[in-house]
Structure 1
């Protein structure tokens, strides 16, 4: 722009007043910290309730070659079908074979809670088939089947496909964590 163009532009803009910026309500750090603290309190309270629920769970024993499956009422049929058919990437694996029932319960609570907190959506749990256990075949599998329905963030689970362990493993679909839900709401609110 030449000097005269610049002067002309400034003359033309002399009586223009800048637009006021609309105030945008964004959570400040103290609000974010309060929200984070609230979720942590809820999370620890939820874990205590979960531990109590799992301790008192009645276990219905399944056979080593039985499918185990659960679909929460809100889970879409197509999403559950994709989980069942291994159409989703497995984001994490939890190994329970060789653990005592108590160790497996603690591992499952800690690992699944960590996965949920990290917003991991699909987990493969390897519980084994338990055919060698002559006293109680499929014991670990039966406990896993009974426990998983008590996790508030488990949307569904189903026995894995052969390439992922078949009857000795289960796919588990977790819900989004609170922060991911909040971010999703913010994204859709902007549209």
Structure 2
């Protein structure tokens, strides 16, 4: 089909599409209800899944007792580095003391502390959770919370109860991955 050279593009377009029906005006925030504030739904979903996984981990394994050693090593971490961590041979670059915190407070403090340690590119940190001797004869709450939470984090390469001079079974030394 050939078109005369003098017809403009808009006339050709109108003839090609034919009759149109105008759309109804869309309500804007100025004329209708205000739009709700945006939410980070995927982040909220990830957080709730992580909390569910954390609760499952707490229920699935036997809790640590007051004198038990907390220990964990990723498969890709050389055994020699883990031995150095166990002996307390890494320089501790920051420390978090959770004494007196509730489980909910301790979890928030621990997540914030580890995030800041990662941001500052710390290699080794100490977390003091206490031995849990006041746990009314039950398992030490903060010690188990720290153990389970550290196992879940991708930025934690290994952790081990500190040597006696650095807190013993009432603290853990944590080896962190660099960004």
TM-score calculated relative to the size of structure 1? 0.65
Over 3 Å counting, the alpha-carbon distance change for 1:50 and 1:153 in structure 2 is: farther
Report how many residues are paired: 133
- Residue in 1 that maps onto 2:50: 53
Give matches, 1:95-174, under 5 Å.
95-174=97-176
Deviation at 1:52, TM superposition (A): 4.2
- Residue in 1 that maps onto 2:10: none
* SS of the residue 2:152 aligns to: coil
* SS of the residue 1:56 aligns to: helix
> Which blocks of at least 5 consecutive residues in structure 2 are unaligned?
1-41
Deviation string, structure 1 residues 1-53 (Cα, Å, up to 9, x no partner):
xxxxxxxxxxxxxxxxxxxxxxxxxxxxxxxxxxxxxxxxxxxx889846742
Over 3 Å counting, the alpha-carbon distance change for 1:121 and 1:113 in structure 2 is: same
CA distance in 2, matches of 1:88, 1:169: 15
Give matches, 1:55-74, under 5 Å.
55-57=52-54, 58-59=57-58, 60-74=62-76
Deviation string, structure 1 residues 138-185 (Cα, Å, up to 9, x no partner):
1110111111011110000000001111010000000012xxxxxxxx
CA distance in 1, matches of 2:47, 2:158: 17
* SS of the residue 2:96 aligns to: strand
* SS of the residue 1:80 aligns to: helix
Over 4 Å off, 4+ runs? 45-48
Over 3 Å counting, the alpha-carbon distance change for 1:99 and 1:71 in structure 2 is: same
TM-score calculated relative to the size of structure 2? 0.69
* SS of the residue 1:148 aligns to: helix
- Structure having the higher helix fraction is 1
Over 3 Å counting, the alpha-carbon distance change for 1:122 and 1:54 in structure 2 is: farther
Which is higher, the Rg of structure 1 or of structure 2?
Answer: 2
